[in-house]
């Protein structure tokens, strides 16, 4: 064990801090330069959401990539349609930063001071555009892509904007009221599953008609109102289509269909490709399981591997795609669960200590020398390198207190390790 600690401790490059300090001293991140090179997409993973240190790394790494490598876009695991409002605020719209973050970053990822500070920084700097990658309403689908599409169709296709409002938006009337509960997506998903098959099919067909029309007419939209509106309408159509695809997969799964999350990962990869078409150089931030180059397998929740966003991007971009995991040793985390008397869609938040990472995981290996913050890149290391042999002997990365089974050396190109994690600085005031 002492030998393993020595090898890992010698290979881990110490990071000065993970915090996005006011200074521009990025010397400790310079070992990433060779790995990043001219790559157009760098993906940073989170081995658990709602962790302060991972959110701080996101902010600091973005600053570094902008200053040293000319990156122009941040794209996160959050609803694409909701993210349009965030970018409008960054570009100068009025509003309160905390409210913009809360509404514009789904899965409640905006409900923390770390996200508010990030958005304030993007607005003050002005060089980086913000995008969501994902389906809307924290996976529950919903009308937001249609609302945003109708707003743009008012400019380029007003007759069809009325069709959207009159014939498609009412199909979402099955959704329960959203009163701000942390877990609103759960009853929303159950409401969809409880719909009669004819109602589900009507929603799918309506989204298909919308998507077909936008795909058929976008060159005319671009000629009439500019490429940005046409591009955004196509992305909104994608978001609506894959959003309803995510929902229908829950039904089809019973008959051997695709894993529902496959639709989310496919959409996120398509959104990244669309950003590259715009000439962006992108930092992608999502869970480790989404950015890994290999298919996702995490029993007992995910028992059949499915292609992740990273699988799609690695297949199409090769070395133009760089995947950096985060790992941790132990620490306190922010969680929530329903209480027996909770209202539908509400959960009770709490914090909990997570003990050491599972033996055999990459996290446990990198935690062995107890270095506070470390960076390890292995893409260009030889197979007989002692640290590579140790990584090859690992079987997983941690996902909270669970494991994602993989071969970490081929799933990722590097890792940023935090020995002790702490909860995000939440701005949630509702009890759940």
| Spatial distance between the Cα atoms of 94 and 113, rounded to a whole number of angstroms | 19
Question: Domains plus CATH for the chain?
Answer: 1-71+281-432 (3.40.1660.10), 137-263 (no CATH)
HEC string for the chain:
CHHHHHHHHHHCEECCCCCCCCCCCCHHHCCHHHHHCCCCEEEEEECCCCEHHHHHHHHHHHHHHHHHHCCCEEEEEEEHHHHHHHHHHHCCCCCCHHHHHHHHCCCCCCCEHHHHHHHHHHHHHCCCEEEEEECCHHHCCCCHHHHHHHHHHHHHCHHHHHHHHHHHHHHHCCCCCCCCCCCCHHHHHHHHHCCCHHHHHHHHHHHHHHHHHHHHHHHHHHHHHCHHHHHHHHHHHHHHHHHHHHHHHHHHHHHCCCCHHHHHHHHHHHHHHHHHHCCCCEEEEEEHHHHCCCCEEECCCEEEEECCHHHHHHHHHHHHEEEEEEEEEEEEEEEEECCCCCCCCCCEEEEEEECCCCCCEHHHHHHCCCCCEEEEECCCCCCCCHHHHHHHCCCEEEECCEEEECCHHHHCCEEEEEEEECECCECCCCCC
Q: Which of 412, 190, 405 is nearest to 303 (CA)?
A: 405
**Tokens at residue 56, please?**
């701080």
- Note the pLDDT of residue 23: 79
Helices 227-252 and 260-277 meet at what angle, rounded to 10? 170
Count of alpha carbons within 13 Å of 52, Cβ hemisphere only? 16
Contact 75, 284 (CB under 8 A): yes
Burial, 209: exposed, middle or buried (Cβ in 10 Å; 0-12, 13-18, 19+)?
Answer: middle
416: phi then psi, degrees, rounded to nearest 5: -110, 120
pLDDT along the chain (432 residues), means of 10: 93 97 89 97 97 98 97 98 98 97 97 98 98 96 96 98 98 93 94 96 98 98 98 98 94 72 96 97 98 94 92 98 98 91 89 93 97 97 95 96 95 98 88 58
Q: How far is CA 42 from CA 173, 278, 356, 427, in A?
A: 39, 16, 28, 28
354: phi then psi, degrees, rounded to nearest 5: -105, 125
Mean predicted lDDT score pLDDT of the chain? 95
| Spatial distance between the Cα atoms of 275 and 86, rounded to a whole number of angstroms | 16
- Note the pLDDT of residue 24: 85
- Note the pLDDT of residue 255: 57
Cα end-to-end span (Å), the chain: 44
Contact 133, 268 (CB under 8 A): yes
Relative to beta strand 321-337, strand 414-421 is parallel
């Amino acid at each position: 064990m002492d030998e393993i600690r020595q090898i890992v401790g010698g290979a881990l490059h110490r990071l000065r801090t993970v915090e996005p300090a006011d200074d521009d001293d990025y010397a400790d991140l310079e070992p990433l330069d060779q790995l990043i090179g001219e790559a157009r997409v760098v993906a940073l993973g989170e081995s658990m959401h709602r962790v302060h240190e991972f959110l701080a790394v996101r902010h600091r790494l973005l600053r570094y990539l902008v200053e040293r490598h000319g990156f122009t876009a941040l794209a996160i695991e959050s609803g694409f349609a909701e993210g349009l409002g965030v970018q409008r605020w960054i570009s100068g719209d009025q509003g309160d930063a905390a409210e913009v973050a809360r509404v514009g970053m789904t899965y409640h990822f905006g409900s923390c001071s770390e996200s508010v500070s990030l958005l304030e920084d993007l607005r003050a700097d002005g060089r980086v555009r913000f995008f969501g990658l994902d389906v809307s309403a924290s996976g529950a689908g919903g009308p937001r892509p249609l609302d945003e599409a109708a707003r743009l169709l008012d400019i380029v296709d007003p007759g069809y904007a009325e069709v959207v409002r009159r014939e498609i938006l009412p199909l979402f009337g099955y959704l329960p009221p959203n009163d701000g509960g942390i877990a609103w997506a759960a009853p929303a998903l159950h409401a969809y599953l409880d719909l009669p098959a004819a109602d589900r099919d009507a929603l799918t067909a309506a989204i298909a008609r919308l998507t077909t029309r936008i795909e058929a007419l976008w060159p005319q939209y671009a000629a009439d109102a500019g490429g940005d509106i046409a591009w955004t309408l196509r992305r909104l159509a994608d978001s609506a289509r894959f959003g309803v695809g995510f929902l229908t997969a829950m039904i089809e799964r019973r008959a051997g269909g695709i894993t529902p999350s496959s639709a989310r990962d496919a959409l996120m990869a398509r959104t990244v490709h669309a950003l590259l078409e715009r000439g962006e150089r992108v930092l992608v931030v999502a869970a480790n399981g989404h950015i890994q180059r290999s298919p996702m397998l995490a029993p007992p929740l995910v028992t059949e591997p499915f292609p992740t966003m990273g699988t799609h991007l690695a297949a199409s971009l090769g070395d133009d795609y760089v995947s950096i995991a985060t790992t941790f040793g132990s620490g306190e985390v922010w969680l929530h669960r329903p209480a027996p008397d909770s209202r539908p869609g509400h959960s009770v938040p709490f914090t909990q200590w997570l003990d050491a990472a599972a033996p055999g995981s990459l996290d446990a290996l990198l935690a062995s020398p107890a270095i506070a913050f470390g960076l390890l890149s292995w893409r260009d290391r030889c197979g007989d390198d002692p640290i590579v042999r140790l990584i090859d002997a690992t079987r997983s990365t941690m996902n909270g207190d669970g494991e994602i089974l993989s071969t970490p050396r081929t799933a990722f190109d590097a890792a940023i390790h935090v020995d002790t994690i702490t909860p995000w600085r939440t701005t949630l005031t509702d009890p759940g």
